[in-house]
Structure 1
Amino acid sequence: MKAVVCQNNALTVRDIPDPKPAKGQVVLKVLRCGICGSDLHLKKHCDHMSALAKRVGYPHIPASKDAVVFGHEFCGEVVEHGPGTSKKIKVGTRVCAVPMLRLPDRIDLTGLSSTAPGAYAEYLLVQEKLMEPVPNGLSADLAALTEPMAVGLHAVNRSEIKRGDVAIVIGCGPVGLAVICMLKAKGVKKVIASDFSPGRRALAQQCGADMVINPADHSPFADWRDYGFIGELPQLLELGVGTREKLGMLPVPWWHAWRLAEKAGLGPKRPVVFECVGVPGVLNQLMEGAPFMTRIVVVGVCMEVDKIEPALAVNKEIELRFVLGYTPLEYRDALHLIAEGQVKAQPLITGKVGLAGVAGAFEALGNPEKHAKILIDPFNSSSGETILPV
């Protein structure tokens, strides 16, 4: 079969062996595959990512010298069941699957491993128990967005945001757009999106953002007073002392009233910020500008050493949460949210290519004004090296 292989930081179309399913595995014909930001990172920073993975106990991310087939955002059609499978999902069924393979000695990450080739190919292997049938006649294009949408859903879930909270999304690339989609699907009433790119700000609006901001002209935190946030230490001190004084005038012990107020969620308001840029310096800038007690959820992957000022975060009680990936349940939920029309995922898709156009698509994705998510159709030879509009 044909596949796009990355080796020594170069992408080439090659003939590679057809996949043979082991116990519990299924062969899919790839219908669509999204090009992910992590694929772009891996092409340029493969050795760095490999070394980083070893530090967290996973020594299986390939080095730049290794031949790798990327692709973990996919929709495919079942063509063959391997031994030991239940065959409940029949041949011909369109499915998505959590991109992981169970090998005899480990779990491998599909598209991020030399031994688990991804969906930049005509066919690939998936684990039967990680497959999800595509519901409601959802198109292969939108179904292929399940994986990045699951990343956004996981970030929103981990943020513990409430519908009445203000969400601020910093960076409106594919990750930020997925977060916006999932925030609105969860019913968050106020979503503010910030990006320097006019094109990405437009996509953020299409995905449901209630307000878009160019940070060159307006800080996303400039209007903190309008939302009742605490932006300065004297205000926080006044809140504490003033609350104590007012509760002391009640005919009940003030500490009981204070505890009841906390249980009722009547404490200080604060925004939930999603950092979706992954560039050195952004975290400290956010801590500097954000109101007191802001929760910052770090979704963007910074591949360089960064510097933050912990004392600044301490004095403002800034909360940092770092997130990665998603659970199989969140993957399933993301697919159904898309299929049920609760997620406005279509704006993310800005182009399509065949296998021959993947290298050019990697270059094109460097321009935020033109593209967010480019899909690969491995069997569409008519697209050739051309990025087709959608």
Structure 2
Amino acid sequence: MRAVVCHQGELGVREVKVPQPGKGEVLLRVRRAGICGSDLHARLHGDETADVAAAVGYDAFMRSEQSVILGHEFVGEVVAYGPKCRKKWAPGTAVVSLPMVRHGSGPHLTGLSEHAPGAYAEFVIASEDMTMEVPQGVSLDAAALTEPLAVAYHAVRRGAPGRRDVAVVIGCGPIGLAVILMLKATGVRTVIASDLSAGRRDLARRVGADIVLDPTVDSPWEQVVEQGRYLSRVSDLFTAAFDGMRTLRRIPLVPWAKVFHLADKLGATPKGPVVFECVGVPGMIEHVTTGAPLRSRIVVVGVCMESDAFRPAMAINKELELRFVFGYDPAEFHDTLAMIADGDVDVRPLVTAVIGLDGVAAAFDALGSAEHHAKVLIDPAGEVSTL
């Protein structure tokens, strides 16, 4: 079969053997595979990430000297089963799958490990237990976005914004746009999106962002403070404490400490917005912690595979909350597919191009600066080779 192989940071189309499904595995004919920002990063910075992955207990992440078939976002058709399968789906059934397989007791990340070739190919192996049928009426393009939308859904759930909270999305690439979709699908009323690219700002509007900004012209942090509920200066927090105490201490028989505790429990004390950092390059955590209002909850979604630095004292003095997210669980993946099928999220604006295998290397080079693109899909049977 034909497949796009990454070796020493170079991508090339090669003829490789069709993978054979093992115990509990399904062979799929790939119909669409998405190019993920993680793939772009792994191509150039896989060794650094492999070192980190090994430190946390996964020693099979791709390294530059290996030959790896990328691709962990995919939809395919059932072709054949390995031993010990339930064989629930007839050949030709469209399915999606969590991108992980297990050889013996060892798990491997599909498309990010030499031991689990990915979907930039004509065929890919999936775990039957992790595979789900695509509901009727869901297009191949939409089904292929189940995985990145599940990442966004997990990030939104971990960020836990309330409906009345303001959510700020920094970076409107594919994952930022997916976060916007999920924020609106879960009922968040006000979403502020910020991106340097006019094309991506337009996409942010199309997927539901309420306020869209060019950060070189307007500050998203000033826009948040203008909502009237958030504080940007520590002195304002101190002033609120003085004003509150002045009022409470002058009311006879009022247990002021209990009132303070009750106000905090009810959410009446000053808090910040929920910020989603969706860029994933060095310097962004420092940028967000410096700009965000006091007591913001910051969810780091963008995958930065390089070393980075920020000032902890800035986050401490502003009492910021940092949450880092990774992946999703099987239930979130299932729920995301259902949301796509039910029309709760409209993923159509995200797909900006579909290319063949021969166009993948050029697409990787172009996506570093192609500001009008969001999600580029690969059709292994397609012939389009340029964006």
State the TM-score bracket (shorter-chain normalisation): over 0.9
Please give the alpha-carbon distance, in whole angstroms, between the structure 2 residues aligned to 1:228 and 1:46.
Answer: 42
Q: How does 1:360-379 map to 2 (within 5 A)?
A: 360-379=362-381
Q: Hey, what's the Cα distance between the residues in 1 that align with 2:366 and 2:180?
A: 23
Q: Which residue of 2 aligns with 1:242?
A: 243
Name stretches of at least 5 consecutive residues in structure 2 with no aligned partner.
none
- Tell me whether 285-294 or 65-74 shows the greater mean CA deviation: 285-294
**Paired position in structure 2 for 1:292:** 294
Shifted more, 133-142 versus 221-230: the winner is: 221-230
Aligned equivalent of 1:72: 72
Q: Could you say what secondary structure the match of 1:222 adopts?
A: helix
User: Contact 2:271–2:294 at 8 Å: present in 1 too?
Assistant: no
Give the CA deviation at 1:91.
Answer: 2.2
Secondary structure in structure 1 of the residue aligned to 2:77: strand
Q: Tell me, what secondary structure is at the counterpart of 1:227?
A: coil
TM-score by length of 1: 0.95
Q: Unpaired segments of 5 or more residues in structure 1?
A: none
- Residue aligning to 1:197: 197
- Structure-2 separation of matches of 1:370 and 1:215: 17
Whole-angstrom distance in 1 between the partners of 2:304 and 2:43: 15
Q: Distance in 1 between matches of 2:356 and 2:222?
A: 45
Change in 2 beyond 3 A, CA 1:250/1:199 = farther
Match for residue 360 of structure 2 among 350, 358, 361? 358
* Equivalent runs, 1:81-160 vs 2, <5 Å: 81-160=81-160
Displacement of 1:250 in angstroms is: 6.0
**Cα separation, 2, equivalents of 1:227 and 1:122:** 53
Residue of structure 1 equivalent to 2:27: 27
Q: Distance in 2 between matches of 1:202 and 1:341?
A: 21
Three-state SS of the structure 1 residue aligned to 2:125 is strand
Q: CA deviation at 1:255?
A: 2.7
| CA distance in 2: counterparts of 1:334 and 1:349, whole angstroms | 17
Q: Distance in 2 between matches of 1:378 and 1:263?
A: 54
Which position in structure 1 is the counterpart of 2:37? 37
Letter in structure 2 aligned against 1:203: L
Aligned to 1:176: 176
Matched, 1:340 2:342: yes
| Aligned-residue RMSD, C-alpha | 1.5
- 8 A contact 1:206–1:344 mirrored in 2: no
How far did residue 205 of structure 1 move?
Answer: 0.7
| Distance in 1 separating the partners of 2:346 and 2:245 | 46
2-side partners of 1:312 and 1:13: how far apart? Answer: 47
Distance 1:203 1:21, change over 3 A: same
Match of 1:227 in 2: 228
Runs of 4+ in 1 over 4 A off after TM superposition: none
Structure 2 counterpart of 1:264, which letter? L
Q: Is the 8 A contact 1:199 1:368 kept in 2?
A: no
- Number of residue pairs the alignment of both structures matches: 385
Partner residue in 1 for 2:333: 331
**Given the two structures, how large is their TM-score scaled by the length of structure 2?**
0.96
CA distance in 2, matches of 1:194, 1:145: 22
Q: Residue 99 of structure 1 aligns to which amino acid in structure 2? A: P
Q: Is the Cα contact below 8 Å between 1:101 and 1:109 reproduced in 2?
A: yes
The residue number in structure 2 matching 1:283 is 285
